[in-house]
A = this chain, B = another copy of it.
Amino acid sequence: MSEGPNQEPLHDVAHIGHAELLTPKAEDSLRFFVDVLGMEVEATEGQSVFLRGWGDYQRYSLKLTEAPQAGLGHLALRTWSADALRRRAEAIEATGLGGGWIDGDLGHGPAYRFTDPDGHAMELYWETERYSPPDHLKPSLKNQPQRYTGRGAAIKRLDHVNVLAADVRANRDFAEQQLGFRLYERIQLDDGSESGAWLSLSIAAHELIYVRDAYGARGRLHHLAFWVDTREEVLRAADLFLDSGIEIEAAPSKHAVAQGFFLYGFEPGGNRIEVTTGGYLVYDPDPEPTVWNELERAKGQAWGVKTVESFHTYGTPVIEEQPA
């Protein structure tokens, strides 16, 4: 019998609300997210365009911002309540990684800014605007926030974010202890160090992933992943990438870790983008994380596909020289 440590789990942070993506090619990137991924432009403000999938309950899940370099602008996490927001802000303040309050941004209320130990900018917020579709995007089913247009890959919502970190373990600990993420899988190298950690705030197999930065750099992005409901839509997205001239880094297949079904490509700004579905749901409130060793990971993905080398090194901002 597993009795568990009987530690009361932390339920203060609900989910990743949106990610801000930086692109040096704003127009081309926008065309990719609208025409190829099939997102809708919900608003434009300054150098940023706010984009949504047809299943997003908030106004947007992607803030696309023109910038000199590709990369992650920030990650915004929504809490379970106003009190939870206050609790988390205080706890993070105490770690020394806090950055203070901001008034909010388009579509959401006051937010507490901070960075993870690796330096990725993050925010916590509670108040939000739910999406209210214009007439041409009104859905037929009232439990759906927006009409299904079917344009491009027709992604439903932002699914998860994978960030690179110089020290995976330190960031994973922070995510668990300060934000209440739960660890479902991790990779432990033969030297005992951790090279990847799959974390979630819910029964979804992953919402935030930390992977070791091959350059030892800080604050970089590995990829943003957008959800579709079926594997057939991932296969279809590959046809769309192909005929839209989007470089495919990894053709559709099934991950061993977390068992997600994937397609990886690069948006014109240089950021890696995943179209994903599948995986598993973790109903176990007290699961023992799956630990993979080097030998096991060397087998490649679930059906034996070898991971392409760039997947282990490339991130944004791009570092031109070879990793050490």
The residues of A with any CB-CB pair to B shorter than 8 Å are 1-4, 6-9, 11, 14-15, 55, 57-58, 78-84, 108-109, 126-130, 139-144, 147-153, 157, 184-185, 202-204, 229-233, 235-236, 238-243, 245, 248, 251-254, 256-259, 263, 278, 280-281, 283-288, 290, 292, 296, 301-305
**Sample of 20 A–B contacts (CB below 8 Å):** A2-B127, A4-B81, A6-B82, A15-B203, A140-B243, A141-B259, A148-B240, A148-B243, A150-B150, A150-B151, A202-B203, A229-B278, A232-B232, A233-B236, A235-B254, A242-B302, A242-B303, A251-B253, A251-B301, A252-B253
Chain B min CB distance to A300 (Å): 9
Extra 9 A-B pairs, beta carbons < 8 Å, given A142-B296, A232-B232, A242-B302? A1-B109, A14-B284, A80-B286, A130-B288, A143-B280, A147-B243, A149-B243, A230-B231, A235-B254
When the two chains form their complex, are residues B6 and A9 in contact, meaning their CB atoms are under 8 A apart?
no
User: Which of B14, B109, B232, B248 is A233 in contact with, Cβ under 8 Å?
Assistant: B232
| Copies of chain A in the complex | 4
User: Which of B80, B148, B256 is A285 in contact with, Cβ under 8 Å?
Assistant: B80
